[in-house]
Structure 1
Amino acid sequence: MTPPSFPAGLSALAERYDTILCDVWGVIHNGRAAFTEACEALVNFRAAGGRVCLITNAPVPEAQVVRYFEPLGVPRTAFDACVSSGDATRRELAARRDMTIWRLGADEGWEHDRFLYDGLDLRFDDSARADLLLCIGLRDQVNDQPEDYRDELNQGTDRGLPMLCANPDRQVRIGGKLYWCAGALADIYEDLGGTVIYPGKPHAPIYELALERVAAMGAPARNVLCIGDSPATDVRGARLQGFDSLYVGTGLKQHGPDFRAEVTDLLADYGEPATYAMTGLRW
């Protein structure tokens, strides 16, 4: 597999692309504070005429994603639009209003599951009477482990319920600590023989929604660069959609001093050929 190129900054690439689809958590902030250089890079790209659509696997609608930006220090001038796995999940739920849904989620944790279905007039019940399992995350994101849910998830696979996974990410880094996400429960569900529907990265629905938002700005995207910190979602999603990708090392993986060798090995482990890699997004 061809290793990525290692540009000094986004400025070396900017003229090649009219649109950036940029991950949020791990790229422009870490859940505690913004990455100033990353935000400045996106501001500069937009100032040069490019368009930026943030694209995140957060299982909440856009409004809930964006409301945290100002307290974290993410400037509004860093992006034109934001699309989330929550937005794509709401679209999937709206198409399934005739189904009874079993919720498995974070309730009033940071993922705020109610925002996924507010206003959709859906029916909810337990696993014995449901037609669909909506998986938002672990109920206790601090103390639970995914394997704690295996027996409960087996109730769904025994009845042949499809799972709608609101966040394909397996883990997220908040500050210096990793926390489990819905994607880890989806892995167990598939291991048990269940079927999982993924609206978020690396799957097509969230990219289709993002490109709709970009086209609504006046012109369709023609040359797209995807930026992210995850080989499994960001880099893979870019490849599946036929886009170039930029891997940044400020998120899930904590890299050592030999960034180039480590990233080359990491991407090879995932079988994903990123176009570029940088220690962190900068201009």
Structure 2
Amino acid sequence: MPDIVDNFSEISFRYRAIFCDLWGCVHDGHAPFPAAVAALQAYRAKGGVVILVSNAPRPKPSVIEQLDRIGVPRDAYDDVVTSGDASQYAYFSGAVGHKVHHIGPMPKDIAFFTEFADPALATLAATNPVEIVPLAEAEGIICTGPNEEFDETPDDYRAAFLLAKTKGLKFLCANPDIVVDLGDKRIYCAGALAQLYTEMGGTSLYFGKPHPPIYDLARRRLSDLIGQTESDDILCVGDGIDTDVLGAMQEGLDSLFLTEGLTAGQFGPADALDAGALDTWLEGGDRNPTYVMGLLR
């Protein structure tokens, strides 16, 4: 069973770099968590590298703009990698065709189609234009989330998905998360819609955590900063047992699971976790973090 730690400094010295989740770990969508920011700043001050690895469907420039807006300081991280970044490579390469139906909140997610972290992506987009069309005309689907993220559930899309499945459309999921907590409100993400589409017999494509493309991209960005880094030198930090922890395991990386995100309150107080309850919850499963903390601090 994983080691329960009280402070990130107890283990951080073992790693040259961390791949740290954002929502539920560093901020709640409205404001940063001061203790988490301080922990990341302290880690970087001692030479550690922080790559924020998020399942946000928007590309890096848009996410950095959001971090600036809500007050996450830039000295808390070195780079940002998103599911949006990883998905754009596939999208503009024609993975779901060149006439695509978009599902997602607009104009919030317009950046997926217009902003690029990598100049090569901008070139790819310019040379492989994709047209957004109604579902009846589409060759595939790109989903960045529900259209009305505060009001809709996956079931609202059953009729559209039946048509899409019948047409044989592939579904590109730009955010594999099932839910996320925006402040005190839990909302569905693109992953919940992709899950339903798959259950209905459709084909869904994923590029964010826990799937390999986002880790490949994160490793390339890390290599650009400090050169080749061994897996033993990287720690994944996050509150998603099915994304952050599973993804780390599949990549051969250690992980720090934060219980006070998506599983808040299930294992007692954040500063006095119930080891027995945690072990029971993990027992028999295949999601085994290396370490556990309540909150990043």
TM-score, L = length of structure 2 = 0.89
> What is residue 107 of structure 1 aligned with on the other side?
106
Match of 1:60 among 55, 58, 61: 58
| Offset of residue 218 of structure 1 | 3.2
Aligned length: 277
Moved more, 242-251 or 117-126: 117-126
> What is residue 116 of structure 1 aligned with on the other side?
112
Q: CA–CA distance in 2 between the matches of 1:264 and 1:123?
A: 49
> What is residue 278 of structure 1 aligned with on the other side?
293
Match of 1:35 among 33, 36, 43: 33
Q: Secondary structure at the match of 1:102?
A: strand
Moved more, 124-133 or 53-62: 124-133
| Offset of residue 269 of structure 1 | 6.8
Superposed CA deviations along residues 203-241 of structure 1, whole A, max 9, x for unmatched, are 000111111111011312221100000101000010011
> What is residue 262 of structure 1 aligned with on the other side?
277
> What is residue 89 of structure 1 aligned with on the other side?
87
Moved more, 146-155 or 264-273: 264-273
| Offset of residue 247 of structure 1 | 0.4
Is the alpha carbon distance of 1:65 and 1:270 closer, same or farther for their aligned partners in structure 2, counting shifts above 3 Å? Answer: farther
Q: Please, what is the CA RMSD of the aligned residues?
A: 1.6
Q: CA–CA distance in 2 between the matches of 1:99 and 1:221?
A: 37
Show the 5 A alignment for 1:242-257: 242-255=252-265, 256-257=268-269
Give the percent of matched residue pairs that are identical in Structure 1 and Structure 2. 37
Show the 5 A alignment for 1:83-232: 83-96=81-94, 99-108=98-107, 112-118=108-114, 120=125, 121-222=129-230, 223-232=233-242
Moved more, 3-12 or 250-259: 250-259
TM-score, L = length of structure 1 = 0.93
| Offset of residue 91 of structure 1 | 1.1
Q: Secondary structure at the match of 2:235?
A: strand
Q: Secondary structure at the match of 2:277?
A: helix
Q: CA–CA distance in 2 between the matches of 1:262 and 1:184?
A: 27
Structure 1 segments (4+ residues) deviating >4 Å: none
Task: Structure 2: give runs of 5+ residues left out of the alignment.
Answer: 115-121
